[in-house]
Amino acid sequence: MVDTGVVTRVGFFVGVLVLAAVAGSFATGGSAGAAPAVNQIETPSFDANESAATAPAQTGELTMAANASGEVILIDAGHGAEIDREALAPIVTTLTENGATVQYHVGKRQGGRSLNASLREADAFLVLGAESRYTEAQLAGLDAFTDAGGRVLVMNEPAQASYGGLALFGMPRGGSSVTSPLAPVLSQHGLAYDNGYLYNMQEYALNYRSVYATPTGSSPLTEGVDRTVLYTSTPVTGSNTLLTTTDGTTLSQTRRQGTYGVLARSGNVVAVGDGSIATQEFLYRADNEQLVGNLLDFLVSGEKSPADAPQKPEPSSETGSTPGPEQTRP
Amino acid sequence: MDNPIDSRVATALQSYTVLAVVAILVGAALVPFATGVVAEDEQYVAVVNIDETISESTAQDTIQQLREVRSNESVKAVVLRISSPGGSAAASESMYMAVKRLADEKPVYTSVGQYAASGAYYTAVPSDKIYATPGSIVGHVGVIGTAPSGGLSPAATTGPDKAHRGMTRDEYYASLESMKRAFVGAVMSERGDRITVSRETVAEASAYNGLRAVQTGYADDIGGLEAAIDDAATEAGLSEYQVVYHDPAQPRGLIFAASSAQSTNGSAGSEQAPYTHRGVDSVHFLMIYGTPEEQRVVSNTTAAGGA
Q: What is the pLDDT of residues A151-181, one digit of tens each?
A: 999 998 665 444 333 333 333 344 445 667 8
3-state secondary structure of B247: coil
Decide if pLDDT at A267 tops 70. yes
3-state secondary structure of A287: coil
More confident: B262 or A99: A99
- Superfamily classification of domain B42-299: 2-enoyl-CoA Hydratase; Chain A, domain 1 (3.90.226.10)
Q: What is the mean pLDDT of residues A183-192?
A: 92
Residue A329 — pLDDT band, cuts 50, 70, 90?
low
Decide if pLDDT at A310 tops 70. yes
CA distance A327 to A105: 9
Strands B86-88 and B284-288: antiparallel
| Residue count of chain B | 307
Query: What percentage of chain A carries pLDDT values higher than 90?
Result: 57
The stretches in chain B having pLDDT less than 50 are 36-38, 152-153, 255-274, 294-297, 304-307
Nearest-Cα distance to chain B for A136, in Å, is 30
Residue A25 — pLDDT band, cuts 50, 70, 90?
low
Contact B54, B85 (CB under 8 A): no
Which residue of B72, B104, B185 is in closest CB contact with A32?
Answer: B72
| Helix residue ranges, H only, chain A | 4-27, 48-51, 89-97, 115-121, 136-147, 161-164, 183-188, 280-283, 288-300
pLDDT at residue B270, as a whole number: 37
pLDDT at residue B253, as a whole number: 56
Burial A80-115 (b: 16+ CB within 10 A, else e): bbbbbeebbebbbebbbebbbbbbbbbbbeeebbbb
Decide if pLDDT at A123 tops 60. yes
Residue A19 — pLDDT band, cuts 50, 70, 90?
confident
Collect all residues of chain B within an 8 Å Cβ-Cβ radius of residue A35: 71
Contact B185 A52 (CB under 8 A): no
Nearest-Cα distance to chain A for B292, in Å, is 10
Contact A53 B19 (CB under 8 A): no
| Least confident segment among A37-41, A164-168, A221-225, B150-154 | A164-168
- The residue of chain A nearest to residue B10, with distances taken between CA atoms, is A6
Pick from A51, A34, A246, A306: nearest CA to B187? A51
First CA to last CA distance, chain B: 98
CATH level 2 (architecture), domain A72-317:
3-Layer(aba) Sandwich (3.40)
CA B111 from centroid of its chain's CA atoms? 14
| Least confident segment among A98-112, A299-313, B287-301 | B287-301
pLDDT at residue A29, as a whole number: 46
Collect all residues of chain B within an 8 Å Cβ-Cβ radius of residue A36: 67, 70-71, 105
CA B29 from centroid of its chain's CA atoms? 37
Decide if pLDDT at A108 tops 70. yes
**Would the pTM count as exceeding 0.80?**
no
Contact A185, A209 (CB under 8 A): no
Instruction: Tell me: ipTM over 0.85.
Output: no
pLDDT at residue B273, as a whole number: 47
With an 8 Å Cβ cutoff, is A281 touching chain B? yes
Spans of all domains in chain A: 72-317
- The residue of chain A nearest to residue B175, with distances taken between CA atoms, is A53
| Least confident segment among A96-110, A199-213, B55-69 | A96-110
Residue A323 — pLDDT band, cuts 50, 70, 90?
very low
Nearest-Cα distance to chain B for A147, in Å, is 36
With an 8 Å Cβ cutoff, is B30 touching chain A? yes
Spans of all domains in chain B: 42-299
CA distance B288 to B254: 10
pLDDT at residue A178, as a whole number: 63
pLDDT at residue A35, as a whole number: 55
Task: Tell me which H or E stretch contains B84.
Answer: strand B75-84
**What are the percentages of helix, strand and coil residues in chain B, rounded to 5?**
45, 20, 35
In the chain, the amino acid numbered A88 is: L
Contact B28 A33 (CB under 8 A): no
User: Which of B41, B72, B287 would you mutate first to test chain A, the one with the most A CBs within 10 A?
Assistant: B72
Q: What is the mean pLDDT of residues A69-85?
A: 90
Contact A229, A212 (CB under 8 A): yes
Pick from B93, B145, B79: nearest CA to B123? B93
Decide if pLDDT at A318 tops 80. no
| Least confident segment among A240-244, A268-272, B20-24 | B20-24
Using alpha carbons only, what angle is made at residue B224 by residues B222 and B227, rounded to the nearest 5 degrees?
Answer: 90
Decide if pLDDT at A63 tops 60. yes
Q: Looking only at Cα atoms, what is the longest distance across chain B?
A: 100
With an 8 Å Cβ cutoff, is A144 touching chain B? no
Contact B297 A164 (CB under 8 A): yes
Burial A297-312 (b: 16+ CB within 10 A, else e): bbbbbbebeeeebbee
Q: Compute φ and ψ for B82, nearest 5 degrees.
A: -105, 125
Interface of B with A in 232-271 (CB under 8 A): none
Using alpha carbons only, what angle is made at residue B218 by residues B213 and B221, rounded to the nearest 5 degrees?
Answer: 65
With an 8 Å Cβ cutoff, is B28 touching chain A? yes
Contact A25 B149 (CB under 8 A): no
Collect all residues of chain B within an 8 Å Cβ-Cβ radius of residue A276: none
Contact B100 A41 (CB under 8 A): yes
pLDDT at residue B305, as a whole number: 39
